Amino acid sequence: MRPVIVTGGNRTGTSWVGRNLCLSRELFLVWESFNQQDTVPLLKHPLEKHYRRLLPREEPVMADFIRKKMWIEMLRSAEGGPGLRNKLRKLARALSNYYGYITGGKKPLFKDPIALMSAPWLAEEFNARVVLTVRHPGAYVNSIKRLNWPTRVEEFEEQPWLMKTLPETLQEEIRARIASREPPRGYVLEDAALYWKVFYTVVDGYRKTHPGWITVFHEDLSRDYIDGFKALYEKLDLTWTESIEATIEAQCNPGNEVVQGKVSHHFVQDSAGVSVIWKTRLTTGRRAQSGGSPNRFPACTTMTPAGNDHFHPSIRYSERASRVTVRVRPGSVEVVAPRGVPRKVIDDFIESKSSWIRGKLNLFLSVKGPVPLEEPAEGSVLWLFGEPLELRTAEGDIPPVINPPLLTMGISWFSRRKFCEWLDGMLLERVNSTAEAFSRETGKIPKRIRPGNARTAGEAAPTGGWL
């Protein structure tokens, strides 16, 4: 067993993934070593800003800091509440962490999205396995917006050696963004979207240069959390138990609420609900500005600002499925696969169907929905039972008695609602009177009455008439 690094963009589930991996008790959590804002007792942080790509002269100093911090984190990660009994339990867990680390039974898990730019160095220094977390850009932007966090792309531009590793077009985009505005003090959509783009351009590069690193998609893990974490445990050679499964089920099941507001970390939630709530919090325009919907790597790093050139299919595993299928609906793509199907098989299937999927999504965009009715205006005509009812404006609500062909009503929403209630009552009265007439003439009681849309005397409503 080796140490583990969980990294990716901030707000992409690194804390959630890291905590759940530490349920194995074979790992202890080391919280954000590259975060200079996380104060550590007795230690001065060697870095001044976030997302540092370490220079060679900085590496020994940072390595020494992380090793010292690990010993403090063994105590901090031993959770315990107030009271003497809980403090004794925390001390016992801390001693267990120390003993396990010294004897080789426990390894550190470095949960650190801020170390993303230096992940190769960190992995080599500590001989660690790496887990990269990926989250949909819309969900990422919504999370940044909810917390009102500033995303300062200046942190990238201030590191020329980091900028050189990015594509030239992305370098130009960063510089143009910096020149176009003052440094943000809170959430700004364009900055958050650009942050995401930088993060996952870097992650895409890691996937090519470090094929042994593990990539997990936040949305997939949120929907299929038991099988997803179980597979992740197997890849990292961690022990999976029924107790761990029960804990993850209790923390992630749909019976939990989705916690919003200014809460940075809350680990007992409806994880599937968390993965899609951004769709109700961002308007269509904001979703497009956040980067559109990314396909799986590497296509997601070449996003378009809008449209369906790139899509993010949701993947659902089903016991009843016998083969991989895809369902396309307006604005969504769902892939259903039998349990146990390798992810590569699903990705290959999506790639083979990508042209067809894009065609369907664009077809949905081209189809216009029903045109909403306009508010009735002076002189509009409503055809009712073959008779034209002319609408005229008046103060107040509908009068109690209405005699065709003149229908007088107000145009306020309240009056329109009252009119609909009156119309419902009038239709019901017409049906009842028809049924009574039928009974008088035939001596029978009708069991069913089916209204038709034929107009009396063969008259047709003129073009443009209401209804």
Domain edge (last residue) among 222, 241, 260: 241
Please check whether residue 81 lies inside any domain of the structure: yes
Strand, helix or coil for residue 211:
coil
The band of 347, judged by pLDDT with boundaries at 50, 70 and 90, is confident
Please check whether residue 308 lies inside any domain of the structure: no
Instruction: Name, in order, each residue with C-beta under 8 angstroms of 188's C-beta and a sequence gap of 6 or more.
Output: 150, 151, 181
**16 compared with 463, residue with greater pLDDT:** 16
**Average pLDDT of 137-141?**
92
The band of 311, judged by pLDDT with boundaries at 50, 70 and 90, is low
Ranked by mean pLDDT, the top range of 212-226, 293-307, 332-346 is: 212-226
CA distance 180 to 168: 18
**pTM tops 0.75:** no
CA distance 438 to 446: 8
Please check whether residue 257 lies inside any domain of the structure: no
CA distance 439 to 79: 79
Interval 148-174: pLDDT, tens: 999 999 999 999 999 999 999 999 999
Please check whether residue 124 lies inside any domain of the structure: yes
Please check whether residue 271 lies inside any domain of the structure: no
CA distance 196 to 134: 10
Please check whether residue 73 lies inside any domain of the structure: yes
Q: CATH number, domain at 225?
A: 3.40.50
Strands (E), 250-329: 314-318, 325-329
Range of the domain at 453: 381-458
Name the domain count of the chain.
Answer: 2
Please check whether residue 259 lies inside any domain of the structure: no
Tell me which residue of 112, 111, 113, 276 sits closest to 198, measured CA to CA: 113
Please check whether residue 306 lies inside any domain of the structure: no
Q: What pLDDT, on the 0 to 100 scale, is given for residue 432?
A: 75
- Read off the tokens for 336: 């259903």
**Average pLDDT of 229-255?**
94
**Average pLDDT of 382-408?**
46
Domain edge (last residue) among 241, 257, 288: 241
